Structure formats: structure tokens, C-alpha cells
Structure 1
């Protein structure tokens, strides 16, 4: 607890063996740990640091670094230059207090990996008259506050015998809604107790995967006991051949979704402005919120992502990231490579351009820009979930300048792309004939969906993806009623939710029998929606 007699720059501490508060923060040789404090002598190896909640274990100081700081827990020594660490949680802040040498980097790295902020000043060593070595430093308290205008730290001691506080999430996580970006069809089936007749809402590769990929999956099943290759070496080697790049210009991850989370973590972080289109892929927004970045959105223009407005917003906001999909989701529209080139040139050089090309394989010739990893602020993402039909295996990849790719190895889950996924993706890349046939089937299915919509009085929007957005001719409420009626008829579809786009429903390519079920259910769903209105 805070001592009323002390200033905001002092901390009161309780030693469990004495059961009393020591004014001025003097504990077992450890004086105030705020600016001006002196660290304990080597002989005073046990000190008590008041930690909020359940923390309150002895801090064992050794010459080699940090001993146990949590009950039953241990951390390796961080080097002889590290004096000590103490980490406190309060209701207002998550803070890290550190004293370290200017040339010691491991302490700061651990702090950042823990999601904290740390600032260090150089240590100075001096001999006392008693010839005992001591470390003297200014310990800088770096605090991430959760409420604007608060600047004081409230540190509470943990009285002996008191019930410990349960673990709590960080303020950032606690403030997030307990939701996921999508309601899965499986959830609806569980809630209703009825399976869908047609699964046309998730933009999956309903036409199936390559026979070569399926053979690789079966062959890999016998090796399921193995850990996967953490470097994804064979797959990256094959992708480098496919793209004409070098292996260190490619990162593989658990789908584009997993890579997007890493992108925000690496290049944006808490408080950073990030630009996207209003109504674009919601999982990107999910990661932006999850890492505490600030989302700046730009409306669509004529059902297209507005490249000029996105570039302008990136300049005005001094954005860390600007995110764009081409072809787009949820509308299915696209820009050609020349328009994207102008967009790249208009974005500031210190803003990372994230180009999501999940639907690149199904796009017309001339949509995808040439592969060029020399641009230092362009990261392109692709996946095996759409045209390749491997959504369930979760495998995607990014490529760009090697300086953009290298940081991923610092934070990614190195076993995040499993052995089966790596082998199946590599086999799928080799089956070029199958991919060409599948892309043709997707194009034909798009035409079928457009015809079904047109025959029912809806307006199909031209698409370069594996889905078609159908303009229902009303507002968002009417389109929602159409969607609900289709779901009641056991046809799974989705719809855009952003104003201006929400007049549409979005129908994924599916097998012939699924599209027939959709065609049969749509007229009745429209009639129900009109009656509801």
C-alpha cells in the first residue's frame, strides 16, 4: 500500500519477518528504487519488494543475475551486469523497474517480450570505504497507464497471511470484448441442432484440395509424432522457386490470419495509428485492437477499396501500417497492378504497406503486381486456404524485403505450421494442372451464383475471388433479413456489415448441389424478408 507520508516518488515496503512498514522504502539494504535509489550491497542478498496481487516472494540477488522472483518459479541469470528486476502490477498500470548496464540488452528484450516498457540508465560501479562492491544506478520506472491523466503509481504490499488476489489479465485485454471476428457455421449448427445443406459463407475451397496434396497428407500422417520443421525450410525453398525470391525473403505462418497478428505486433503496437478500409477483413481489425493500436478507417468508393484515400490517410495519420486487400473481401472487387503501383508510390516510405492477396490465384491476368522484394515497405501475404482448398490446415506465407521478414523469427510460434500442413502445401504448389482446372471451376461457379442472384432480382457485383456479393436492392436491415431467412433454410451465407456495403449478401463458390440448394431457397428468403420489412 502507499504510505501517506511519502511522496509519489517513494514506495513503502513490508518485510514479512518484521511485520512492519519501513518508511522511505528501506528494506534489507534496498533503499528507494525510484530515481536516486541505491541498490543493495552484495551481502544484502535478500530484499522484499511489494507486489500487488499475489506477488510477494523474496527477490534473491546474486552476482550472476536474477534468482527466483515468483513463488516456485525461477528465471535464468541475465548476466553479471543485471542488478535486479522487480515487476509490479497495480490497478492502474503494468510497470517494470530495472537497473541495468547500458551495454546489457537481454533485460530490455525480456521486458518488451512481456509487453512492458523499460528504460535503463548506465550503471556505475564504485568502491565503498569498506571495499565492498556495490552497484549504483538510477532506476527508471516506465509505466503503461490505462486511464488518461493518471501519473502516479500505487504499489500495495502483500500482508503476511492475507488471501492472494487471483491472476488478472492486462488492462488492454480486460477492455477487449469477449468476441471472435466470425460466428462459425459449426456454432450455428450446434445452436439449431440442424446441419447446413450448403456451406457458402466462409469462402473456403469447397471444390476440394489437390490429389497430390491429399496424398501428401496421408503420407505425413505416419509422421504425426514428429515436431514440424520450425524453419519451414522445404516449403520456403519451394516458394522461393515459385516466386523467384530468396528464402530469407519469405515467412510461413498459420494462415494469413496468424501472420496479420504478427505484423501488427512487430510493426505497430500500442497506440500506433493503423489505416484500413471501413468494412474490410475483420480479423485484421481484431489484431489491431488486440495489440492496442489505433484503427483509422476509410470508406469504400463504388464498392472498391479507395486507394487514393487510403494513401492520404496513411500520410495524415503518420500510420505505422496501411492494410489493403486485392482482390477485396467482402466485395470481391479488385484493382489492376498499375493502380496498385501508383498506390505504393503514394504511401510514405516509413509506412508499412500490407497487401493481402488471399484471392490472388483467382484474379484476372494483370491483377497481381510483379514480385519485387526490393521495396522496403511492402509486405505481401498469400494463403493455401482459398484456391488450394487447404483452409483446415492453416498455412499461409508472406514475402517482401528481407529486413521486413527477419523480425518474424523473433516472435513467431516456430512450431505454428504443422508438419502435415507444410508437406501438403508444398505438394499443392507442384500440382499446377490441378490449380488451373480449379480456378476455371471457380470462375464458372461465380457465373452460376451471379445468374441465380440476377434471376431472383438481385444485382451481382463483378468478382475476382471465390465468392460473389449480391446487392439485395435495399438497406442493411433488408439484407440481414434475407440472410436470416437463408440461414433458417439451412443455407449458410454471410454479409458485409459496414454502411454502404451492408446492402449485400456474400455467397461463396460451392459444389453444384450446394448452389442448387441456394437457388431453391433464395426466392422464398427474399419473400420472407420483404414480409418482415
Structure 2
């Protein structure tokens, strides 16, 4: 006898979540169009890969795959502590920075609370609010970036705000807030409201170092990742820096062994090779400038970026994106952000960028 089991999610808001849309994988495009010479510029991955020291570290741990990783992440946390000049008890490790964002929300936000974030900011912020059944307060953007004055007012005018998410540099627009702007914002925010600065792309703008703000504001959390400049997107390693008492709460709900043995070793090796990161920064900057000139020549508007991507206005982005894919070039349409005329394009290596511009030119004419 069949039974109709009525299952409902914990919160109605979960039903309004659209599953996160990742960049189309190279393998999928190859299957779909039979193209084997694919250029992927959709997911802001590092086209230079990772440091050679990372592959060596991974190799050394392959014989230990039957063993659980160090659940405390002792050596990686020590390396991060030394690099960032914080205490080990101020660090939380995550399975990528998304894991950290989720843990923060689960630790401090209930279905009676609210989360503040900006329009055109990382879409995961609104997702974690809905996952918690919390109210998401989206503040209109200012010149495609964060309007900190309006975000401050949103916090002060709503007694139940528990967390503010700020992406800096911002994804997908590439805008950047200065440390002075962030300091002024933090000074105006009540101490019981956590301010999370998501610094996934901070290595591309090293001049914006907000580490010092941790010593000034106990409610501040900095979230970083090894997925972008360090080239470890496939291994998923992120971390948070914050007040030790805040970290202790987040670590209570952290899943055991959430960062694998191989990932820990790789991240530690990646962190030790800052010469590689400097080469990544330089190459990205040079290619960003070249792409900007090409977009100008094509008459395309774009937002100056402080990350490793550019947001470009192309008109009918859905059609342009489809035509680019048909020719083996993967970029990221932004209709999910309400930016129907825009594409986000990762800065690639010179040969990738030449292919992009040549293909884009043929698509637009």
C-alpha cells in the first residue's frame, strides 16, 4: 500500500532557495558541443595553477589516505597563525570559505534574526539567511559596490540583525572598500552584531590589508580561502580569523575532519610560497590591464576590478554567453544577480585572453 508522506523543510524560506549555479565544467561543455579546446573563464580559478611546492606536499601524503586527517588542523593553523600574526585559537578551518560562511550563520543566527548584505554581493549570503529561516536584508548597491552608510542604517533600524556580510573585494562586481571605510563602518555597528568581511580575493589587492582591524573590533570576522590566488579550488580549504571567543563557538559546530589530510598539507605548502603569489598578482594585473584596453576597443562597459575578474556589459548577455560557449569559451552570466546585461569574466593567461577577445569580437559583430 502506497503512502503519501508529506515532508516539509524546517523553514519555508528554504523552498525559495535556488540551487547554487556553478560555472559550467569544461567536461560538460565538451560533451554538449563536442569541443575539446575549451577555455574556462567562469569560476575565477587561478589559470597559473598552484605552487610547485603544493604538488610535492600532496605526493608526500598519498600513502596516508587511509588515515583520518588531523581533526584540529594543528600544523595548518599554526602556519596561518604565523602568516597572519594571530593566535591559533583565533582560527577556524573550513571546507572552503563557503563552509565558514555557513558555520557562522548556523552558530549565531536563528529564524528570529536577520542578516544584512549588499545587492550584487556574493549570492551565498542570501542563501545562508534562507537556510536559517532568517530575514535577509538586501541593501541597494552604490555604484555596483557596498553602500556602507545604508548598510549601517539597516543594522541600526532593525533590532534583530545578528550578522553583516561584506565581500571585499566584492564578487561579482570587483569593487573594493578601503580599510578606513571599513573602520568607520565598524565603529558605528553595535558590538553584538558580527561583521564578516569575506576576503576571498584579498591576495589580488594586498594593499587592502584589514588584518589590523581584528585588534580593534571584537565582533569582526575575516574569512579567506585557498581556492583563488593559491590555486586550490579543487581541494576546498578556507579559514576565518576572529576573536578567540567567537572562534570557540564556531568551532563547536565545525564538522569533524572537515578539511582533508591532503588539503591541509597542500594549503600549508601554498602559504609558504609567497613568491608564487607575487607572480600571480603581477600576471593578473598585467592581463587585467590588457583586457580592459580590449573591452574599451570593443566599446564594452566594465567595472574596474580589484580581484581576478571583470564584470562586462555586453547587452543580451544570455545570447552572448551561449554563442561564446558554442565556440568553446566559458564565462559567467549574471542574471541570477539581477544583472541580465552583464558577464563576469575571469582574467586568464595571455593565450586564454586572446582567445576570449577574438571570440567575443566575432560574436558581437
CA distance in 2, matches of 1:355, 1:196: 38
- Report the Cα offset of residue 196 of structure 1: 6.3
Q: Which one of 331, 334, 340 corresponds to residue 182 of structure 2?
A: 340
* TM-score with structure 1 setting the length: 0.64
The answer to whether the aligner puts 1:306 opposite 2:144 as a matched pair is: no
CA distance in 2, matches of 1:174, 1:191: 34
CA distance in 2, matches of 1:479, 1:174: 29
- Report the Cα offset of residue 369 of structure 1: 5.0
Q: Which has the larger radius of gyration?
A: 1
The answer to whether the aligner puts 1:482 opposite 2:320 as a matched pair is: yes
Q: Which one of 229, 233, 250 corresponds to residue 391 of structure 1?
A: 233
Cα gap change, 1:250 to 1:392, in 2 (>3 Å) = same
Q: Which residue of 2 aligns with 1:423?
A: 265
CA distance in 1, matches of 2:219, 2:36: 45
RMSD value over aligned CA atoms?
Answer: 2.2
- Report the Cα offset of residue 195 of structure 1: 4.9
Q: Which residue of 1 aligns with 2:223?
A: 381
Cα gap change, 1:196 to 1:292, in 2 (>3 Å) = farther
SS at match of 2:317: helix
- Report the Cα offset of residue 179 of structure 1: 4.1
Is the 1:210–1:434 contact (alpha carbons within 8 Å) kept by the matching residues of 2? yes
Q: Which residue of 1 aligns with 2:56?
A: 215
- How many residue pairs get aligned? The number is 362
CA distance in 2, matches of 1:336, 1:311: 16
Cα gap change, 1:207 to 1:458, in 2 (>3 Å) = same
Cα gap change, 1:269 to 1:232, in 2 (>3 Å) = same
- Report the Cα offset of residue 177 of structure 1: 4.9
* TM-score with structure 2 setting the length: 0.92
Q: Which residue of 1 aligns with 2:77?
A: 236
Q: Which residue of 1 aligns with 2:349?
A: 511
In the alignment, structure 2 segments of 5+ residues that lack a partner are none
CA distance in 2, matches of 1:196, 1:313: 48
CA distance in 2, matches of 1:366, 1:225: 41
Map of 1:163-312 to 2, 5 A cutoff?
166=5, 168-172=7-11, 175-177=14-16, 179-186=18-25, 187-195=28-36, 197-312=38-153
CA distance in 1, matches of 2:235, 2:21: 18
The answer to whether the aligner puts 1:315 opposite 2:162 as a matched pair is: no
In the alignment, structure 1 segments of 5+ residues that lack a partner are 1-161, 528-533
- Report the Cα offset of residue 235 of structure 1: 0.6
Per-residue Cα deviation, 1:259-304 (whole angstroms, up to 9, x for no partner)? 1111111111223111111121112222221121111101111122
SS at match of 2:142: coil
SS at match of 1:370: helix
- Report the Cα offset of residue 224 of structure 1: 1.1
Is the 1:202–1:494 contact (alpha carbons within 8 Å) kept by the matching residues of 2? yes
CA distance in 1, matches of 2:134, 2:65: 38
